[in-house]
Chains A and B, each alone.
Chain A
């Protein structure tokens, strides 16, 4: 089946550091990928839609200059948390769909746990 890989799985860094998270579709091409954030004991919240070859679409309340998204190829999207602070500590998860269309299952990565000291 379709596989989405995220790297790294865990990051611990100091406040003020910028952190890049990679999301790869291993065996399929994805023109669109999605980035979610999940705080402890809460549900997933969509942050942005990553579009290959164009600008990402951000959800309301998500700072585009804080969370930089690049989708330079059909198999790779990156999320960079710039100048991270403790309140950015969260579980970041990406997803992609094998095929276009609303009924296609989303395939998720295993997430990246970001801890800012």
Chain B
């Protein structure tokens, strides 16, 4: 699977939007961009995923660059409960085999009250 690069940490003020970047310059045409987050002492939680078009759901929005070499996870209004490690993961949508995930180091988001 292609590699992703994320900042180690970011800070945000509560109730402000947060933009979490992810670079994936070696992304292939069949790679989907997945985002998960891990709250302290919990298992990861699915956030959102997309291929080419921007995606929105109740948790976040995913903005994908036109060349797909980068993407941004957008939390529209950060709350203290959003403090977590956010992982950007590429998954080949047409690859045979198991649906496991390979986690990088992610971005640790700190939300300041």
- Residues of A in contact with B (beta carbons under 8 Å apart): 4, 6, 32, 34, 36, 43-46, 49, 57, 91, 93-95, 97, 100-111, 113
Contacts and interface: CB of A to CB of B under 8 A. Distances in A.
Contact of B93 (A34, A103, A107): A103
Contact of B91 (A32, A36, A102): A102
B104 A100 contact: no
Interface residues of B, number: 26
Contact of A102 (B43, B93, B105, B106): B93
B32 A102 contact: yes
A94 B32 CA distance: 22
A104 B104 CA distance: 19
B98 A34 contact: yes
Interface stretch (B9-17, B21-29, B44-52, B73-81): B44-52
Contacts of A43: 87, 103-106
Interface in B83-113: 87, 91-95, 98-106
28 contacts: A34-B100, A34-B101, A43-B104, A43-B105, A43-B106, A44-B103, A45-B103, A46-B100, A46-B101, A49-B98, A49-B100, A91-B41, A97-B99, A102-B32, A102-B91, A102-B92, A102-B93, A102-B94, A102-B95, A103-B91, A103-B93, A104-B99, A105-B49, A106-B36, A106-B100, A110-B42, A111-B41, A113-B41
Q: 3 tightest A-B contacts by CB?
A: A108-B43, A105-B46, A44-B103
